[in-house]
Amino acid sequence: MMKNVPNPEKKSDPEIEKGQYQDQRAPNILLHIDQGVAVALVRNLILLLFDATFISLGWLLAKWVVMNSEYFQSVDSFDLIGTATNQPGFLLPILAITIGIISAAGLYSRRDSRRRFLRLISCLTLAQFILIVLAFLYRPGVFISRSLFLLAWLFTLTFVLMGRFLLELAVITVRSKGILTRKIFLIGTPRDTLAAKIALKLISNREFQVVGQLDLSTIEGQQQWPSVLEDIQGKGIGEVFVCSWQSIPNPMSFYWNLKTAGINLRVLPVGLELPYQSPQIEMIGRMPTIQFTTPAIIGTDFWLKRGFDLTFSILLLIFISPILLFIAVLIKLDSPGPIFYKQTRLGLRGRHFKVWKFRTMVINADQLMKELEAKNELKGGVLFKMKDDPRITKIGKVLRKYSLDELPQLINVLRGQMSLVGPRPLPLRDVEGFAPHHFARQNVLPGITGLWQVSGRSDIIDFENAFRLDVMYINNWSLLLDFQILWKTVQVVLNRKGAY
């Protein structure tokens, strides 16, 4: 029975020469510092220092205001601050309790923790309540200034939230210049790596830079893996993203070779068909499970987004009203027909509504489209796109090039039929080609712009990729993401990229 087992002491064993029986406890490559761990430690340390600085600033400012304001002295005629706040190290227990609660809430653990502003507000409020209780128990016979705790809470909230927001803007600005990016390597099928590239480019604020990729279909056996690993190390890559884990030959050996080289491994389940909701990984024992939370943009999220849409749309309509009037005059002079074009589109939960646009085509455009169906340049037959569409008027070409024909949709936003950012509302003709899973994009209000529009617009010729972008937006929604998409929309429009 034992004679078929390779003998590791036998140097002539061909399996040893091929490197398939390496002892991973004593690898032949130098052990490097785990770059992912180092990045996480630096990120958490910066967050902690920011929070500690602004918490201290909030308390010191509150103390100064109470001690130097006649109004607060008249309100708190008793012991204004208490002897505790006059001690040199009075901030230490405050910082320990507040930062301890923030840390316990997981706001220093995950890479996206700095953007969880609502949870941060809850933590700061809870910390303030605990400090009040402890102050009363520590000196029950001494009245503590209510004004101090109230002002410290307000100042701390303001400064800490402002600090994290400014830090986020700084990170986005720096990464937009190609600084602080993390070099990564993609492994998987061409389709899966394309989906991973789109997701990493749009959602991560340019945090990751793809410097190489490997098509698993080109790998024959394990003999090529040493050269692949050598190439990964030579590029200075910190993380490897695997899109098809089950296709990796000898995956545990591959993992340990990466780990001993100080390279992090991430597995992207891009080929796994999952419900279109935001998943969370939860360990049950040692078994990973995927848990699905409530979909985004409902409840409080919906009303927060709706309030932003209303405010921004009203201000924008007031500001651009002269431009709208000028465009209307040009359309009327250019060709016969109405100024506006209204078309039935599919909206939230499958409801039909009339979308407003400046007219960019001749009057009988809908009838002419039947003759042009064979020239559709978009794969899948869902959408109709054609670069040199003969139905478009002269002024219409200019309006489409700069997306000015979409501006009247601000009326749809005011009426609650659309949002500023979201999946584009499609004509009923396009919806007829939907597969069942495509209707997931109708779970939110359609938008004037979206991830699809800022990712190549008409240059994306596969509707399935456009659909993936819509789902990515729904699952990762935040007001900050809306701001980013609106800003990218301005850049895309000015560059006239992918518009026709």
* pLDDT confidence of residue 85: 54
Q: Give phi and psi for 325, each to the nearest 5.
A: -65, -40
* pLDDT confidence of residue 313: 94
Q: H/E element holding 129?
A: helix 117-138
Residue 467 and residue 415 in contact, taking contact as beta carbons nearer than 8 Å: no
Crossing angle of helices 35-68 and 146-176, rounded to 10°: 140
Q: What is the pLDDT of residues 5-25, one digit of tens each?
A: 444 444 444 443 444 444 444
What's at 466, amino acid-wise? A
Question: Binning pLDDT at 50, 70 and 90, where does residue 236 land?
Answer: confident
Q: What angle do CA 357, 362, 366 make, to 5 degrees?
A: 80
What separation in angstroms does the CA of 382 have from each of 35, 113, 151, 388? 44, 38, 57, 19
Taking alpha carbons only, the member of 348, 335, 251 closest to residue 309 is: 348
Which class for 395: exposed (0-12), middle (13-18), buried (19 or more C-beta within 10 A)?
buried
pLDDT at 272 over 50: yes
pLDDT at 500 over 80: no
In this structure, the number of other CB atoms found within 10 A of the CB of residue 33 comes to: 8
Taking alpha carbons only, the member of 343, 357, 392 closest to residue 372 is: 392
* Domain 181-217+224-272 belongs in CATH node 2.60.120.510: no
| Contacts with 160 (C-beta within 8 Å, 6 or more apart), sequence order | 50, 51, 54, 55, 58, 120, 124
* pLDDT confidence of residue 400: 85
pLDDT at 438 over 60: yes
State the chain's mean pLDDT as an integer.
75
Taking alpha carbons only, the member of 369, 472, 458 closest to residue 421 is: 472
At residue 448, the 3 state secondary structure works out as: strand
Measure the CA–CA gap between 226 and 305, rounded to whole angstroms.
50
Measure the CA–CA gap between 270 and 301, rounded to whole angstroms.
27
Counting residues of the chain whose pLDDT is more than 70, the rounded percentage is 66
Taking alpha carbons only, the member of 197, 183, 193, 196 closest to residue 235 is: 183
Q: What is the pLDDT of residues 154-176, one digit of tens each?
A: 999 999 999 888 887 887 777 77
**Mean of the pLDDT values across residues 126-136?**
84
**Domain boundaries along the sequence of the chain:** 36-176, 181-217+224-272, 300-495
Question: If you compute the radius of gyration of the chain from its CA atoms, what whole number of angstroms results?
Answer: 29
Residue 411 and residue 353 in contact, taking contact as beta carbons nearer than 8 Å: no
Measure the CA–CA gap between 423 and 467, rounded to whole angstroms.
8
**How many Å separate Cα 423 from the centre of its chain?**
15
Is the pTM for the entire model greater than 0.75? no
Report residue 441 as tokens: 């994009």
What separation in angstroms does the CA of 473 have from each of 325, 363, 371, 441, 449? 33, 35, 35, 10, 11
Measure the CA–CA gap between 215 and 213, rounded to whole angstroms.
7
pLDDT at 187 over 70: yes
Question: Binning pLDDT at 50, 70 and 90, where does residue 52 land?
Answer: very high
186 DSSP β-pair partners: 213, 241
| Positions of E strands within 128-217 | 182-188, 208-215
Question: Binning pLDDT at 50, 70 and 90, where does residue 309 land?
Answer: very high
pLDDT at 373 over 70: no
**Mean of the pLDDT values across residues 188-210?**
66
Residue 98 and residue 124 in contact, taking contact as beta carbons nearer than 8 Å: yes
* Ramachandran bin of 261, using left for φ above 0, alpha for ψ from -120 to 50, beta for the remaining angles: alpha
Q: What is the pLDDT of residues 58-98, one digit of tens each?
A: 988 988 887 777 665 555 544 444 445 555 567 888 899 99
Q: Which residue has the higher pLDDT, 273 or 470?
A: 470
Specify the pairing of strand 287-292 against strand 279-284.
antiparallel
What separation in angstroms does the CA of 354 have from each of 159, 362, 418, 419? 45, 19, 11, 14
